């Protein structure tokens, strides 16, 4: 059984037991989160496709970690002008462990 969920502006294919990094969600480590933007649910040959979401479908997950990803460096430069800027960004993430897919 697997599902396609939408969170943080991205879509992910998940199955029970998967560990997934998504954009930061509110909550503490160990909290349970229910994701309601389920776009597709498939079990063997039975596939339910939502328009845009599958009614009544939920994915239950547990927060495993809250953290920051590796630093991404952004360097800007204009030739012959002496303009040089170095900036860094660390995106916040939430690591989820998928527990169950409910239809």
- Residue 80 — φ and ψ, nearest 5°? 65, 10
CA-to-CA distance for 42 and 54, rounded, in angstroms? 11
Domain borders along the chain are 2-102
Q: Dump pLDDT digits (tens) for 77-101.
A: 999 999 999 999 999 999 999 999 9
SS3 content of the chain, % helix, strand, coil (to 5): 0, 65, 35
Mean pLDDT of the chain: 96
- CB of 25 within 8 A of CB of 59? no
Query: Is the overall model pTM greater than 0.95, yes or no?
Result: no
- CB of 102 within 8 A of CB of 36? no
Instruction: Report the 10 Å Cβ neighbour count for 93.
Output: 18
């Amino acid at each position: 059984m697997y599902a396609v969920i939408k969170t943080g502006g991205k879509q992910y294919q998940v199955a029970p037991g998967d560990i997934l990094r998504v954009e930061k969600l509110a909550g503490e480590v160990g909290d349970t989160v229910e994701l309601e933007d389920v776009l597709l649910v498939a079990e063997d040959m039975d596939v339910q496709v939502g328009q845009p979401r599958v009614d009544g479908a939920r994915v239950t997950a547990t927060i495993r970690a809250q953290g920051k990803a590796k630093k991404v460096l952004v360097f800007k430069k204009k030739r012959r002008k002496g303009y040089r800027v170095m900036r860094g960004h660390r995106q916040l993430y939430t690591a989820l462990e998928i527990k169950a897919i409910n239809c």
